[in-house]
Structure 1
Amino acid sequence: MGAVLALAGAAGVDRDFAGAPVAATFYPAALADKLAGMDLFPPGDDVGAEFNSSIGTTCTLAVDWYYGLDASPGFGEVDFVTTVLHELGHGLGFATFVDDTTGEKFLGFDDVFMLQLEDHSTGELWPDMSDAERVTSSTDPGDLHWVGAEVVAASGSLSDGVHASGHVEMFAPSTLDPGSSVSHFSDDLDPDGLMEPFETGALHDVGLALELFADLDWCICGNGVVEPPELCDDGNSIDDDFCSNACQGPPVPMLPVWGRVAGALLLLSTGIVLLGQHPRRVRP
């Protein structure tokens, strides 16, 4: 199995809030906040993440964290920035809430991630499958695909891990890998992607994860490039303008009370509850 580098997930979900693009569908907390235009989960966290502090100390594998910002880890080092980006991806919505052992939908409702999952061997989308069919699909290597329009349009950048249709393969090994199956791109992607389940070296370019977030209804206003010495991706090619364009928007207003009306779900009343912990590992 190798060593678990880190794991993360959404710390809450919501559905049928004002601004939700699809009814009766769960959205991860951070995306729900964005779509609603307010903080639906005060004063709790939207994302929960854990990082392995045993790396470089008591871990049995001879690896160590690399904390530099230049994407240049040395031999035996794992790039910490890459790992953080990967785990933030899960917290922001790169994950399904379907039970990976039973195939059951979370509380009986679709989630926004599963809407774009298709099993190419049957042509069925995940929301239309039975629980048993979803279990079978999650262990159908090469046939579990992401079919969102934004990812498909950008899939020409891949030489492997992509179907002739432009559908991109998801991680669905023949033996279920709980927490990793389905909620990652396939580890056959070439070139490697940030959201594969195993450590693939330093990757500060989020790659097709950007288009997948657009398929989830995140607003993507960058161009995928950070022009030094800028601090973020502001969507233009002008150096040294320090991300001062309209992409940054106003602060998000806060709801005045802790809680939501009936029909919504809070999972934070007793602390952070990660909705599925999606580990990233280094191979043994």
Structure 2
Amino acid sequence: MSHRRIAGPLGALAVFSIAGSAKAVTITIINNDGANTGFNDPTPVTPVGDNPGTTKGEQALNVFKKAAEIWGSALSGTVEVKVLASFAPLQCSETYGTLGSAGPMSAYYNPRFPNASAWYPVALANQLANRDMNTNQPDIQAQFNSELGKPGCLSSRGGWYMGFDGNHGKRIDFLTVLLHEFGHGLGFLTFVDGTTGKEMSGRPDIYETFLHDATQDKPWTQLTDNQRKSSALNNGNVRWEGPAVTAAAKEILSSTTPTPLLYTPAKFESGSSVSHWDKSLSPNLLMEPVINGDLTHGLDLTTALMKDIGWTLPATTP
């Protein structure tokens, strides 16, 4: 799985809201597909894996609602999160494919935010400001591969699995991919240009403030542009230093991989490098750069990272 920021016109919109408990954040899905495509595909299908939809479009929308429900109940917030979503042909071959892409549509900094100098993705910035800071556009834009399972695009995998029960077999579990991409849109990414090491408008982002290069023994915010560029290629030596993740990692990761490393392969991968957990971590995590068949629909270390960057998590019963 990978992510990248996408810009485009809104087009005709259909809106669906998901609300959990009173403390949960509301996530609103904006259907940006055209007639007879994606979420509007009328092709008849049989209900599968607790998904009662009877058309391809209805099943896809149901999975989106399920992902919004899971993420909505995991985070607290007073301002709805608006997700502009659609299907489109994404990069793909018989052996490799981009399953989905997502990211914030804007970012903000404010002297009243916990870190006054850092960029915050708009969905989080809205919660900190307790208002919608940009009412004219959605907060997250997401696209998913419409060609999956077709000739030339991972056809041996059989396409998307639209059930909620995890019985995907060789198919790609759509709910897992959605949970992953929602994570990017909510803040699991850096705005640093990994090919140059430059920060966005010369200002750090909140995700970046928790990155630490073990070789240089410095946080990313204390590195020069060239040093950050080098760090983005420093395989196995960039880790997350945030209290929530550090505590959760002791419970979630195996004893052999206790350090939450970020994905920094020696060859930079646009949309993947730095903005994912490293593939070496065990067990496999939701926010790794490739999908793993043993993933459940849990959020593992992802919610701890959200807490580190500023999201409030609902109180849980001991």
- Under a length normalisation based on structure 1, what TM-score does the superposition of the two structures give? 0.74
Q: Give the aligned partner of residue 133 of structure 1.
A: 227
Q: Give the aligned partner of residue 285 of structure 2.
A: 193
Q: 1:148, 1:132 → 2: CA distance?
A: 24
Which of 253, 258, 279 is 1:158 aligned to? 253
Q: Give the aligned partner of residue 102 of structure 1.
A: 196
Q: 1:48, 1:161 → 2: CA distance?
A: 37
Aligned-residue offset at 1:26 = 0.5
Question: Does the alignment pair 1:177 with 2:295?
Answer: no
Question: Does the alignment pair 1:23 with 2:116?
Answer: yes
**Residues 65-99 of structure 1: per-residue CA shift (max 9 Å, x gap):** 0000112212x201000000000000000000000
CA contact (8 A) 1:3 1:59 kept: no
In structure 1, stretches of 5+ residues that fail to align are 223-234, 238-284
Q: Give the aligned partner of residue 111 of structure 1.
A: 205
Q: Give the aligned partner of residue 50 of structure 2.
A: none
CA contact (8 A) 1:20 1:35 kept: yes
Q: Give the aligned partner of residue 83 of structure 2.
A: none
| Root-mean-square deviation over aligned CA pairs | 1.6
SS in structure 2 of the partner of residue 4 of structure 1: coil
Question: Does the alignment pair 1:37 with 2:130?
Answer: yes
Aligned-residue offset at 1:176 = 0.8
Aligned-residue offset at 1:203 = 2.5
Q: 1:135, 1:83 → 2: CA distance?
A: 28
Aligned-residue offset at 1:161 = 7.5
Q: 1:25, 1:196 → 2: CA distance?
A: 25
Q: Give the aligned partner of residue 215 of structure 2.
A: 121
Percent of aligned pairs sharing the same letter: 36
Q: RCO higher in 1 or 2 (8 Å CA, sep ≥ 6)?
A: 1
Amino acid at match of 1:130: T
Aligned-residue offset at 1:189 = 1.1
Amino acid at match of 2:194: D
Q: Give the aligned partner of residue 250 of structure 1.
A: none
Q: Give the aligned partner of residue 243 of structure 1.
A: none
Distance change >3 Å, CA 146–CA 94, structure 1 → 2: same
Amino acid at match of 1:195: M
Q: 2:110, 2:151 → 1: CA distance?
A: 46
Q: Within 5 Å, give how 1:249-268 maps onto structure 2.
A: none
Distance change >3 Å, CA 210–CA 44, structure 1 → 2: same
**Residues 16-59 of structure 1: per-residue CA shift (max 9 Å, x gap):** 16x41111210001000011101011031000111001012244
Amino acid at match of 1:29: V
TM superposition outliers: structure 1 runs of 4+ over 6 Å: none
Q: Give the aligned partner of residue 100 of structure 2.
A: 6
More helix by share: 2
Which of 164, 172, 176 is 1:78 aligned to? 172
Q: 1:160, 1:176 → 2: CA distance?
A: 29
